[in-house]
Structure 1
Amino acid sequence: MFQHILLPTDGSEPAQRAVQRGVELARRLGSRVTVMTALEHFPAGIMASGYRPHDDLQTVPGLQAAEDWLAQAEAVARAAGVPCERLLLRDQAVVYRAILDAAQSCGADLIVMGTHGMGLIERLFVGSQTQRVLAHTNIPVLTLH
C-alpha cells in the first residue's frame, strides 16, 4: 500500500495529532516516514530582527521552534519503531509548495496533514496550506482535524 509517508508539521495541535496518526498508520503498514517543516522567507524589514536569507542559521526566526517540532515528531516515530527521516526547509517562498517539493524529493506516496478547521469565510480570503496542497498534488493526502 503506502511505503513512504510525508508528515508536515508546524508544531500546532492539529499537526501533532496528524503526526501521531501518520506514524501509527506507517507502523501498521510497515512504512517509513519523513517528518518535515518549512520556514518561510521574510524579506528584510518585515520582521523586527531584519532577517535576511543569508543570516546564520542560528539567527533565523523560528529555527529553534522548527527544530523542536521535528525532534518531537521524530521521537513519536522512533517510539513506534517506524523508520524516520527529518527535513527542514528554510527560506521558502510558499509553504505548501515546500510540502509538495518535499513529497516529490523524498518519494512519498502519501501525505498526512493536520487541518486547523478554518471557517468558510477565512478559507475564502486566506486559504490554508492543507487546501493548497490538496489542490496542487496528485499524491494522496490524508487530512486530520
Structure 2
Amino acid sequence: MFKRIVLAVDGSVDAGRALRATGELARLHGSEVLVVHGRELGLLMPLVPGAPAPTRQLTVDTEDEARRLLSSAVSELRDWQPRVRGQLLPRQGQVAQQIVEAARTAQADLIVLGARGMSQMWELVAGGPAQKVVRLADRPVLLVR
C-alpha cells in the first residue's frame, strides 16, 4: 500500500515515535523511506525583542546537529528497512512546505511526522509544522504522538 514514505524528524519525542511507526510500516509494506530534516530560521530567532540574533557559529553548530540527527534516524530505520535515505531541507523557507515538496518529488504515498516538535512555545505562537503539513499536503499524513 505504501511504496514510498517521507518521514520528517526534528529530534523531539514525538518524532522518535514517528520514526518507530515508520519503521514498522516500511517493514510491513516493503516501503522505501526518505527521512527529511529542516528547521525554519524563525525557530532560531529569539522570541524576546532585543535579544541577540544567532551567531554564525550557532548556525554552523545547528547544521552539524542536523546532519547528526538525520544520520542517526537513517541508521535506526535501516534496522527495519534497508531502503532508506536522508535529505537535509534548505534553511530558507517554511519547513512544512519543504516537507510537502519533498514528498511530491519523491512521489511518496505517505508523510509521517510527530504531532508536536521541539519548539512547542513557537508552535503555540505561530502554529507548528505538523499543522501546516496537514493543511498543505495533497497526500495522506500520519501524525504520531
TM range (shorter): 0.7 to 0.9
Aligned to 1:127: 127
Q: Which structure carries more helix by proportion?
A: 2
Alignment gaps of 5+ in structure 1:
52-57
Aligned residues: 135
Q: 1:49 aligns with which of 55, 80, 84?
A: 55
Decide whether the 8 Å contact of 1:32 with 1:84 is kept in 2.
Answer: yes
Decide whether the 8 Å contact of 1:40 with 1:90 is kept in 2.
Answer: no
TM-score if structure 2 supplies the norm length? Answer: 0.81
Matches within 5 A, 1:12-91: 12-41=12-41, 47-50=53-56, 60-91=60-91
Aligned to 1:4: 4
RMSD: 2.7
Q: For residue 102 of structure 2, what is the amino acid of its counterpart?
A: A
The alignment partner of 1:99 has SS state of helix
The alignment partner of 1:63 has SS state of helix
The alignment partner of 1:107 has SS state of coil
Larger mean CA deviation between 40-49 and 25-34 belongs to 40-49
Distance 1:123 1:9, change over 3 A: closer
Q: Distance in 1 between matches of 2:35 and 2:89?
A: 11
Decide whether the 8 Å contact of 1:27 with 1:82 is kept in 2.
Answer: no
Q: Per-residue CA shift, 1:34-59, capped at 9, x if unaligned?
A: 001013346999633157xxxxxx95
The alignment partner of 1:76 has SS state of helix
Alignment gaps of 5+ in structure 2:
46-50
Q: Distance in 2 between matches of 1:13 and 1:114?
A: 8
Decide whether the 8 Å contact of 1:2 with 1:31 is kept in 2.
Answer: yes
Q: For residue 133 of structure 1, what is the amino acid of its counterpart?
A: V
Decide whether the 8 Å contact of 1:23 with 1:82 is kept in 2.
Answer: no
Structure 1 residue ranges, 4+ long, deviating more than 2 angstroms after superposition: 39-48, 58-61, 122-126
TM-score if structure 1 supplies the norm length? Answer: 0.81
CA drift of 1:84 comes to 0.3
Decide whether the 8 Å contact of 1:40 with 1:92 is kept in 2.
Answer: yes
Aligned to 1:55: none
Decide whether the 8 Å contact of 2:4 with 2:32 is kept in 1.
Answer: yes
